[in-house]
Amino acid sequence: MPPRFSKEVREYHITDVPVKRQRRTSPCEHACPAENRIQLVETLIKEGRFDEARMALLSRNPLAGTTGRVCPGLCEEKCNRRSYDEGVAIRALERFASERGAVPSLRPMDDSGKSVAVIGSGPAGLTAAFYLRLLGHRVEIFEAEPVLGGVPRVNIPDFRLPKNVPDAEVGLILSLGITAHTNTKVGRDVSMQTLLDNFDACLTTTGNPVQRMLAVPGIESARPATTFLHESNMRRDPLPGKSVVILGGGGVAFDCAFTAKRLGASSVSLVFPEKADRIKTTEDEIRQAHDEGIVLYPSHLTTALEEGKVRARRLTDFRFDEKGELIAEFEDDVTYDIPGDMVICASGLKPDTAFLDALAPKRTPRGHLEVGTDMMTSVPGLFAAGDIVTGPATVTSAVGSGRKAAVCIHAFLSKQAEPVEIKLDLDENGSFTPVVNRAKACELTQHVVEFSEIRNPDYHEHAARTAQRVNDTSMLPFAEIKAGFNDEEAVTEAERCMHCGHCIDCGTCVERCPDYILERVENEGPFVRYPQECWHCAACRIGCPTGSIDIEFPITHLV
């Protein structure tokens, strides 16, 4: 077989892109829980097409301003460029596109006559509501809090995520004609059965709102991390001179630590069982903790809380059982005392599914809802997405789960056997509207191109990663720390993307082909003009700087 090219699909697909054209992909895109079109976004930013870059994001993620700030960056950890010099600043580029690109005109499909109740307005619920409404269904959101947005709106501190960002994203989603009921808790103000009776489908996305408290003596004196962050976001009660100890080492624990520092605590410590090289947060946050004088106690487990101190022992190992209970192995009998006037417990979260008890849906041993590949629970018509299914995860994971749920619910309401291809196209009115292709989706799987498969990486110039500018927060401690990119910085950083697995039409393959069987066409890139003349020498593949060419085996040649 002659060489085959994997070329970037420049369409705004809500569902997977057509694999027959874009056969290969990059580790960053493969690792993204929201399945963002990372390379397409970076291509469009590089070309200065910022509005289109935002549209490419919006086709997969309506909360890109949020995820561009608070996502832990699984994509950046997998970036092939890390094996060449430094990884691309993908999150900062996502944030840039969400801020710099103009808000597109969106027009839902014609009314389907179907309705969906979405319970919870966190990332999963908002994402699902957004796509369900675009697909023509009537959507109503039921939220127990007085504001929409879930954890990003009420728990994540301003220095990481200013409130105007989720507020603007909520506004865009509601502008499609979605009804929202705040201060409305399902199970208290309205029953789940009532929603099932009055809507064609229901989706629960209530997450994990309950703090898991450590089972140690004196824990009743500790404050749940979720309560502390919620109240700090609303009131900013100062903590002058307090020594604060946080029990936990994940993202929530670090948010508590940074918040306590900004509220005037004299000392802040984190006690957690993970080893120092396995802390469950980003390198940026670990660096920030050191810079702000926050003391870390890795491989330690709290054994008791006493007045003015936390007692802890050093661990050699630990694990969790199927119910989420911690099983610890201690190094010795030595107990360490850590001064703590105030203790915050950030040792994990769990779901609250009491409002579903009458329906008795299947649950996991840890209390999360079980769903099938169609995102439906064991209760007909009741779907679930986000952390209530997966357990505590990332905002980006919730976005991906919410979009998948919307596509599955659309298939359910449309009486389709399985989800079909859906994309956003520019209609005759100048608005983007969904287009449903009912043809059977391609069953091929995209090949993930690792750095070792790129035979000509030297085509790309070595270039340092562009650092985000930093705001002066001396006057306003809770002001956002990172300032993002300006236009020039964003273009420069986007140009560093190696576009692994995607043809960039550089012409190297055409130049290196010894038999001149390849040609280039403007706006279409290279193609095989004379397939029967190909000798399968692989000169094109060796010279490709993106690993976008593959040759199918076994090779046959017509003599």
453 & 405 share domain? no
Whether 535 is in a domain gets the answer no
247 & 337 share domain? yes
pLDDT digits (tens, 9 = 90+) for 108-133: 999 999 999 999 999 999 999 999 99
pLDDT digits (tens, 9 = 90+) for 155-173: 999 999 999 999 999 999 9
Any long-range contacts for 440-445 (C-beta under 8 Å, 24+ apart)?
441/15, 441/16, 442/18, 442/19, 442/20, 444/19, 444/20, 444/23, 445/19
Residue 419 confidence (pLDDT): 83
Helix, strand or coil for residue 34?
Answer: coil
78 & 138 share domain? no
Whether 538 is in a domain gets the answer no
Residue 325 confidence (pLDDT): 78
172 & 215 share domain? no
Block residue for tokens 């010279």: 543
Phi, psi of 274 (to 5 degrees): -65, 150
Whether 196 is in a domain gets the answer yes
Residue 558 confidence (pLDDT): 47
61 & 163 share domain? no
**DSSP conformational letter for 341:** S
254 & 301 share domain? yes
Domain count along the chain: 3
Cα separation of 161 and 361, whole Å?
A: 35
H/E stretch holding 398: helix 395-413
pLDDT digits (tens, 9 = 90+) for 293-310: 999 999 999 999 999 999
- Region 529-533: what's the mean pLDDT? 89
Helix, strand or coil for residue 292?
Answer: coil
- Whether residue 214 contacts residue 247, with contact meaning beta carbons closer than 8 Å, is answered with yes
What CATH number is given to the structural domain containing 309?
Answer: 3.50.50.60
Q: Give the CA distances from residue 176 to residues 61, 108, 126, 131, 437, in Å, rounded to whole numbers and listed in that order.
A: 15, 7, 12, 10, 22
What CATH number is given to the structural domain containing 57?
Answer: 1.10.1060
Cα separation of 456 and 541, whole Å?
A: 9
Kindly report the pTM of this predicted structure.
0.94
- Region 517-536: what's the mean pLDDT? 90
Residue 17 confidence (pLDDT): 83
Whether 434 is in a domain gets the answer no
219 & 325 share domain? yes
Domain range for 88 is 10-104+441-494
Q: Give the CA distances from residue 101 to residues 53, 96, 132, 429, 434, in Å, rounded to whole numbers and listed in that order.
A: 7, 8, 23, 20, 20
Residue 228 confidence (pLDDT): 96
Whether 177 is in a domain gets the answer yes
Whether 554 is in a domain gets the answer no
Encoded tokens for 303: 């054994």
Block residue for tokens 């298939």: 411
342 & 247 share domain? yes
Q: What mean pLDDT value characterizes the chain?
A: 94
pLDDT at 559 over 60: no
- Region 503-515: what's the mean pLDDT? 94
pLDDT at 557 over 70: no
Phi, psi of 197 (to 5 degrees): -75, -25
224 & 326 share domain? yes
Whether 336 is in a domain gets the answer yes
pLDDT at 389 over 70: yes
Whether 75 is in a domain gets the answer yes
216 & 340 share domain? yes
pLDDT at 442 over 90: no
176 & 288 share domain? no
Out of 398, 415, 432, a domain closes at 415
469 & 397 share domain? no
